[in-house]
């Protein structure tokens, strides 16, 4: 009898020890989800830190799984979602274990890995000061069945890190998408320019330049993340002097009452003949914006898809789905733009949410404004409310990876506009 009891106890202890060996990661995963659902960001972050501190392959696996699943929790507050997701990303970046990192790198090329996990993994790999991270990015670029959003992020990472071994795979992408000249083709060209500081016009030019062995001797003139020259070619449309590097774009225009202001010219004569320093009808902000929007729409090629949004107190959308830039659609969009009038307050938050609801998977927004987001009474929002807009955008853009460029007339909230652009891989442009 005693022998049987002893046997049972030994077996139980073995089971418990095995469960403990496999259990800390899963137990911490439960704690993360439970804390997030309860709205306790601090407790969720603590569990994430404990999980990352295990520094094991299983910990890396669970961190990645949590990052994908966190948005599936019901009734999760946007600030909690973005906070936990950011903590999970930082946890993955803190992984030091060689086997764990190898596991993460392998997931970038695996066809079984969820594309959303891969989007995060590109960011994680880019944070590592590790030649193996470069190798992982290059290997993932060579994978033939990558999700489009993953490919776009891989191109951007290769360009920013100036990975010379990525040049050939990037040239392959340029060649593969030469006929479509789609967004992957654009990002691959941008990455080549960022990596090398050069802007060659054809695939043949790139292959001749990047002959066998060039990556071992070539040194770019630009630093990491810098762009040596323009890209895409002479046919790229422009908006307020900035190249529009997308085939699926949304223009979001502030049409609040302050857009009736007339800004003096600081350069040469205005188009209506007024001298520098004077203001004219074409210097009214809403007029300048409408002229640029019409010019842009009319210059779009037929392979571009677009829509327009105007906002003040209310938000109005020209079309809730991206439309081909054919002659008929461009005519309708131009008429819609010319009818825009200035009135009301600056409801920027709702306008951005509408932009993310556009069907057709846009990947570039331009936001044009001359002020700060306001409440219904017209009072500028405080920092807490502005943070809420940023949190909402970051949540909506977590996996979509829409690039957001912002354009500010005099009086624009440069801090808000700059942060919005920088958080979303875009740039802020200030107008006189």
pLDDT, tens digit, for every residue of 154-197? 999 999 999 999 999 999 999 999 888 889 999 999 999 998 88
Contacts of 42 (CB under 8 A, 6+ apart): none
Residue 177: enclosing H or E segment and its boundaries?
A: none
* Segment 278-329, tens digit of pLDDT: 445 678 999 999 999 999 999 999 999 999 999 999 999 999 999 999 999 9
Which domains, from first to last, does the chain contain?
238-430 (3.40.50.410)
Per 3-state DSSP, the chain is made up of helix, strand and coil in percentages (nearest 5) of: 55, 10, 35
Give the CA distances from residue 38 to residues 32, 80, 289, 331, 396, in Å, rounded to whole numbers and listed in that order. Answer: 10, 9, 45, 51, 21
* Lowest mean per-residue pLDDT among 198-202, 250-254, 365-369: 198-202
The reported pLDDT for the residue numbered 17 is 39
Q: What pLDDT does 215 receive?
A: 65
Instruction: Show the tokens assigned to 106.
Output: 């392998």
Whether the pLDDT of residue 198 is over 70: the answer is yes
- Note the pLDDT of residue 216: 62
Torsion of CA 98, 99, 104, 109, to 10 degrees: 110
Is-contact 72 116, C-beta < 8 A?
A: no
Compute the average pLDDT of residues 251-268.
84
Pair 151, 184: CB distance under 8 Å = yes
16 confidence band (pLDDT: 50, 70, 90)? very low
Closest C-alpha among 143, 144, 137, 55 to residue 98: 55
Q: How far apart are CA 231 and CA 187, in angstroms?
A: 10
At 281 the pLDDT is 61
Convert the pLDDT of each residue in 67-106 to its tens digit: 989 877 778 887 788 889 999 999 999 999 999 999 999 9
Q: Which helix (H) or strand (E) holds 307?
A: strand 305-311
- For residue 10, name the pLDDT band (cuts at 50, 70, 90): very low
- Token pair, residue 108, equals 């970038």
Distance, in Å, from the CA atom of 246 to the CA atom of 218, rounded to the nearest integer, reads 29
CA distances to 64, 107, 399 from 114, rounded to whole Å, are: 10, 9, 11
Q: For residues 183 and 363, what is the distance between their CA atoms, to the nearest angstrom?
A: 8
Dmax (CA) for the chain in angstroms is 108
pLDDT at 269 over 90: no
């Amino acid at each position: 009898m005693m022998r049987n009891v002893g046997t049972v106890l030994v077996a139980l202890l073995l089971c418990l020890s095995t469960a403990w060996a496999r259990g800390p990661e899963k137990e911490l995963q439960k704690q993360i989800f439970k804390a997030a659902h309860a709205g306790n960001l601090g407790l969720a972050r603590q569990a994430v830190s404990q999980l990352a501190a295990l520094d094991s392959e299983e910990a890396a696996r669970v961190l990645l799984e949590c990052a994908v699943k966190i948005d599936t929790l019901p009734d999760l507050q946007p600030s909690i979602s973005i906070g936990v997701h950011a903590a999970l990303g930082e946890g993955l970046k803190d992984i030091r274990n060689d086997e764990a990192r190898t596991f993460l790198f392998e997931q970038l090329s695996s066809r079984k890995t969820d594309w959303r996990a891969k989007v995060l993994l590109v960011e994680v790999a880019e944070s590592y000061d590790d030649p193996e991270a470069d190798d992982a990015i290059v290997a993932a670029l060579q994978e033939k069945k990558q999700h489009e959003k993953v490919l776009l992020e891989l191109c951007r990472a290769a360009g920013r890190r100036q990975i010379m071994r990525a040049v050939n795979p990037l040239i392959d992408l340029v060649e593969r998408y030469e006929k479509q000249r789609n967004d992957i083709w654009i990002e691959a060209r941008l990455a080549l320019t960022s990596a090398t500081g050069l802007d060659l016009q054809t695939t043949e030019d790139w292959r001749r330049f990047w002959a066998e062995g060039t990556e071992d001797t070539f040194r770019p003139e630009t630093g990491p993340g810098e762009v040596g020259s323009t890209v895409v070619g002479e046919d790229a449309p422009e908006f307020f002097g900035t190249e529009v590097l997308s085939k699926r774009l949304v223009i979001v225009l502030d049409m609040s009452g302050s857009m009736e202001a007339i800004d003096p010219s600081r350069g040469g004569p205005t188009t209506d003949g007024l001298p520098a320093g004077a203001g004219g009808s074409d210097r009214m902000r809403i007029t300048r914006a409408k002229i640029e929007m019409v010019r842009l729409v009319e210059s779009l090629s037929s392979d571009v898809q677009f829509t327009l949004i105007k906002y003040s107190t209310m938000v109005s959308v020209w079309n809730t789905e991206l439309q081909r830039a054919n002659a008929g659609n461009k005519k309708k969009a131009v008429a819609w733009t010319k009818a825009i009038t200035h009135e009301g307050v600056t409801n920027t938050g709702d306008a951005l949410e509408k932009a993310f609801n556009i069907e057709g998977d846009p990947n570039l927004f331009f936001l044009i404004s001359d002020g700060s987001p306001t409440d219904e009474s017209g009072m500028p929002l405080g920092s807490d409310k502005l943070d809420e807009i940023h949190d909402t955008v970051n949540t909506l853009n977590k996996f979509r990876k829409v690039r957001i460029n912002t354009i500010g007339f005099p009086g624009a909230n440069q801090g808000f506009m700059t942060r919005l652009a920088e958080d979303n891989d875009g740039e802020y442009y200030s107008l006189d």
